[in-house]
Amino acid sequence: MGFVIAKRYNSLFIFLHGKYMAYLLLYVDDIVLVTSSNLLRDRIISHLRTRFSMTDLGPLSYFLGIAVTRTPLYLFLSQQKYAQEILERVGMASCKPAATPVDTQSKLSAKTGPKSHDPTLYRSLAGVLQYLTFTCPDIAYAVQQVCLFMHDPTQTHYDALKCILRYIQDSIDHGLHLYPSSSMHLITYTDADWDGCPDTRWST
């Protein structure tokens, strides 16, 4: 159909032909399709239906735990339900909220405190928090820090993880606002431009 696979994202397919542009994100049997025109969208869906059994669920509202809310000015992406499920899973649905996701007075190390009583739970929580950073980039640093000790966590590391959870309780209704751009051109960064990692970015 003329799509090419994005160099660094194997589940993203890009279609470019003159003024026509489409992005198709595929995850198992779920698809998000974004096009530069309704006509192009209808043609792509029609063509896909000749090969696959498909159901068009209409405008994007929920995808892989991410809720999408549309307003006249922007899209709002939120993982509030996902975050609430994480808190309920560890019995922290009514925990005291924290204003920041990290303790700014201390620095984690590999030899701080006794061993964690449940390393498996620690690793599981660190993993699900990584997925939450998609719409909560403000916890990315804190999550990266606790992930450094997944192989042998201590109680101090677990306390740091719980600090992140208390911050999530405080900011559970936060998310990402995506605003429209007047530009629809692909922007290619060279190695020097992007910290040594060649990549393709775009505006929507």
pLDDT at residue 76 is higher than 70: yes
pLDDT at res. 103: 80
87 occurs within a structural domain: no
The pLDDT assigned to 194 comes to 44
Asked if residue 52 and residue 38 are part of one domain, the reply reads: yes
pTM to 2 decimal places: 0.76
Residues 166 and 188 in one domain: no
Q: What is the pLDDT of residue 19?
A: 86
For residues 102-121, give the mean pLDDT.
84
In a domain, 149, yes or no: yes
> What number of residues does the chain have?
204
Q: How many domains does the chain have?
A: 2
Please indicate, yes or no, whether residues 164 and 191 belong to a single structural domain of this protein: no
Over residues 158-175, the pLDDT tens digits come to 999 999 999 999 999 999
Residue 85 lies in a domain: no
User: Which domain, by its residues, includes 65?
Assistant: 4-77+175-202
| Distance (Å, whole) CA 66 – CA 60 | 10
Which tokens hold the place of 58?
């209409």
What is the spatial distance between Cα 69 and Cα 76, in angstroms, rounded to a whole number? 5
Residue 84 lies in a domain: no
Both 185 and 153 in one domain: the answer is: no
Pair (165, 99) in one structural domain: yes
The answer to whether residues 140 and 198 belong to one domain is: no
Quick one: 107 and 150 in the same domain? yes
Give me the sheet containing 66-70, strands edge to edge: 62-63, 66-70, 75-78, 176-178
Within a domain: 89:
no
3-state secondary structure the chain: CCCEECCCCCCEEEEEECCEEEEEEEECCEEEEEECCHHHHHHHHHHHHCCCCCCCCCCCCEECCEEEEECCCCEEEECHHHHHHHHHHCCCCCCCCCCCCCCCCCCCCCCCCCECCCHHHHHHHHHHHHHHCCCCHHHHHHHHHHHCCCCCCEHHHHHHHHHHHHHHHHCCCCCEEECCCCCCCEEEECCCCCCCCCEEEECC
* Residue 44 shares a structural domain with residue 25: yes
User: Do 182 and 166 belong to one domain?
Assistant: no
- On whether both 166 and 180 belong to a single domain, the answer is no
List, for residues 128-154, the tens digit of each pLDDT value. Answer: 999 999 999 999 999 999 999 999 999
Same domain for 163 and 99? yes
Answer yes or no: do 140 and 197 share one domain: no
- Asked, for residue 154, whether it belongs to a domain, the answer is yes
